[in-house]
Amino acid sequence: MGLLLIVTSFNTTSTSTNNTTITSGEKLTLVASYKMSGIMTDIAQINMETSTVKTKTRELLRLKCTASTYSKWDSYFRVRDLYESYVNPETLVPALFNRKIEEGTYKKELKYLFKRRSRTAVSTMNKKGYKDYKVNVPIDYNTMDIVSSIYKVRTLDFENFGIGQTTSLDFVLDSKVQTLTVKYLGQENINVANNGSKSCHKLSIGFGGKELENVKGGKYIWITADEDRLPALIKADIPLGAVQIRLSNFTK
C-alpha cells in the first residue's frame, strides 16, 4: 500500500556505504490520506520500527513496517499489511525479507532469502492457488527489497547532491528486480509531526525508468535535512486520485 509509494548517474557504491543514520529502537508513525471529493481524508496508519535481532552467527537489524486502515474504513476496504526486512546494520543490505498482505479479500505471503554468494534471491509465495511456490531471482550483491530501499534512501549524502542529480537502487518486488530512481530537487521547509517547520530534502521518485516528474503521475518525498533523516512527507498522484503520507510521531 503506502510503502510502495515511498522509494544523471548510477552510483553502484551508494548501497555499500556504511549506515550511521538508521539505528535500533527508532519508531515512526505515519498517516496515509486519500483525496476524496477533493478533500484529503485520513484512511490508514503506517508504523515503521527498527530492532536488533541476533542469530547464531551474526547480528541483524530488523526493519518492520505495518499498514492498517482505520476501523471505520474496514467495511469498505480492510488493509492489514506487514513488510519486514532483516539487514546488515552497516550497509542495510538485506538477508531476508517477509511480506504479508491482507487487502479486502486478497491475501498473499512472500519471502525472499538473499543468497549473496550465488547472486540469487529465493522467492517463496503463498496465496490462493499457490503453495510454497518458489522462484530463483538473479540479483547483484547490492540488490535490496522495498523496505530496505526506503531506509537506504534516508542515508544518502544529499548535502553533496546537485539539483537534478539522480541515483538508483535495484530491489526485488513481486519476484522481479526493479529499479528505484531518486532525483534530488533541493530543499524546502515542511511541517514535521509536532516539531514545527524543518528544512527537508525534496526528492522525486521513479520506478523502472519511468518519468520522475509528471503532472499526472508524480511521486515526491521530503526527508528532513538533519541527522535523523526522517520521512516527513510523501505525495503521489495515482490513476484514481492522490495519496499523501505524513509523519505524525517519532521516537529515536
Q: Comparing 49 with 16, which gets the higher pLDDT?
A: 49
Mean local confidence (pLDDT), 25-46: 94
Rounded to an integer, what distance in angstroms lies between the CA atom of residue 112 and that of residue 15? 18
What is the pTM assigned to this prediction? 0.88
CB 157 within 8 A of CB 223: no
Residue 71 confidence (pLDDT): 96
CB 113 within 8 A of CB 175: no
C-alpha distances in Å from residue 52, one per residue of 85, 172, 232:
12, 23, 24
Residue 1 confidence (pLDDT): 47
Q: Comparing 163 with 195, which gets the higher pLDDT?
A: 163
Beta-strand ranges (E) seen in 37-173 are: 39-54, 59-69, 80-87, 94-103, 106-115, 120-127, 130-138, 144-145, 166-173
The C-alpha cell that represents 171 in the structure block: 530491489
Rounded to an integer, what distance in angstroms lies between the CA atom of residue 223 and that of residue 180? 16
Run of H or E residues at 177:
strand 176-191
Residue 241 confidence (pLDDT): 82
Q: How confident is the model at residue 195 (pLDDT cuts 50, 70, 90)?
A: confident
Q: How confident is the model at residue 16 (pLDDT cuts 50, 70, 90)?
A: very low
Q: How confident is the model at residue 215 (pLDDT cuts 50, 70, 90)?
A: very low
Residue 131 confidence (pLDDT): 92
Decide if pLDDT at 224 tops 70.
yes
Residue partners of 229: CB distance under 8 A and separation at least 6:
21, 154, 155, 223
Whole domain around residue 228: which residue ranges? 2-251
Mean local confidence (pLDDT), 156-178: 94
**Maximum mean pLDDT: which of 15-29, 104-118, 229-243:** 104-118
Residue identified by cell 552510483 is 11
CB 161 within 8 A of CB 3: no
Which DSSP category does 56 fall into? Answer: S
Residue identified by cell 484512511 is 43
Rounded to an integer, what distance in angstroms lies between the CA atom of residue 160 and that of residue 162? 7
Residue 159 confidence (pLDDT): 93
Rounded to an integer, what distance in angstroms lies between the CA atom of residue 7 and that of residue 154? 10
CB 107 within 8 A of CB 127: yes
CATH of the domain at 32: 2.40.360
Q: How many CA atoms lie within 13 Å of 176's alpha carbon, on the beta-carbon side?
A: 6
Q: How confident is the model at residue 180 (pLDDT cuts 50, 70, 90)?
A: very high
Distance of CA 170 to the CA centre of its chain: 13
Decide if pLDDT at 11 tops 50.
no
Work out how many domains the chain is built from and give that number.
1
pLDDT digits (tens, 9 = 90+) for 70-96: 999 999 999 999 999 999 999 999 999
Percent of the chain residues past pLDDT 90, beyond the cut: 76
